[in-house]
Structure 1
Amino acid sequence: MFKKTIPSVLMLSSVMLSGCVTTDTPDLPEIGVDCKWDANSQCVYLSPEIALIGVPNQTKNLQFRLDDLDRPMNDHGGGTIAYTASNTIAKGAVKGIRGPCPPLREPHKYKLYVVATDENENKIAAGSGIARCCSE
């Protein structure tokens, strides 16, 4: 029994500790999130260019987290940036995200989470988007 339980608990703990952005935001307005990588983006450890739709006007900060859906034990980090009212976040702007580096250059699916917070750090909107990386 313990042989199956311990790896599951360790994997779940790794996923839970991988970033500060919570995915439990069902009652918040939704932010549309789009990002993508190309073959030249592999293993360069930069956040992608990110397009957002529906960010509330009162947003002060955006919190991000990146998960590898095909290999959840890989921690790709996250970070927080000040929101400048631009709905395009430049490649490399989220310093805590380590971009994709799938083993053997095989394609993986990545999920990028975003949470908008106001000046009091209240969560006011959230969203996520899925992108594949990296096909030649």
Structure 2
Amino acid sequence: MRGLMVIAFLLASCTAAMADMKVSFDWGPTKKCFDSKSPPISLSGVPAGTKALDIRMKDMNVPDYNHGGGKVDYSAQKSLAYGAFSYTGPCPPSGKHKYRFTVNALDAGGKTLATATADKMFP
């Protein structure tokens, strides 16, 4: 019974840590159709021990298209500037598409400490 309580506590602690990290972004100067410079990204609640951020973008209207992303060294910064990493920027063929950034906080060994997502329409 005690073992189950310890497992429940650890799961709750991990879930709470992951729930604390938040990410948001603004398209800022992003140009339509495959601008290779990432948009400005704001971060909060990034867990202690984070050494890198792995960032990926997905077009929620065309989820099979790989926009890629990149890794950025993390040293307690609260934001990432326009062009912090290269990826294949948004290019909806018509109208607006919803895009999602997923940010994974990684420790020195590459283990994911927390994950956060943010969605925004483009253009």
Give the TM-score taking structure 2 as reference length: 0.78
Partner AA of 1:37 in structure 2 = W
| 8 Å Cα contact 2:51-2:105 kept in structure 1 | yes
Deviation at 1:118, TM superposition (A): 1.0
| 8 Å Cα contact 2:30-2:39 kept in structure 1 | no
Partner AA of 2:31 in structure 1 = S
Q: Distance in 2 between matches of 1:36 and 1:83?
A: 20
- Of the structure 1 ranges 28-37 and 49-58, higher mean CA displacement relative to structure 2 is found in 28-37
Deviation at 1:38, TM superposition (A): 5.4
Q: Distance in 2 between matches of 1:39 and 1:124?
A: 30
Match of 2:85 in 1: 94
Deviation at 1:57, TM superposition (A): 2.5
Percent of residue pairs bearing the same amino acid type? 35
Count of aligned pairs between the two proteins: 107
Q: Distance in 2 between matches of 1:42 and 1:118?
A: 34
Runs of 5+ unmatched residues, structure 1: 1-25
Q: CA RMSD in A?
A: 1.9
Who wins on radius of gyration, i.e. which is larger? 2
Misfit runs of 4+, over 2 Å: 38-41
2:106 aligned with 1:110: no
Runs of 5+ unmatched residues, structure 2: 1-13
2:93 aligned with 1:69: no
2:76 aligned with 1:85: yes
Partner AA of 1:34 in structure 2 = S
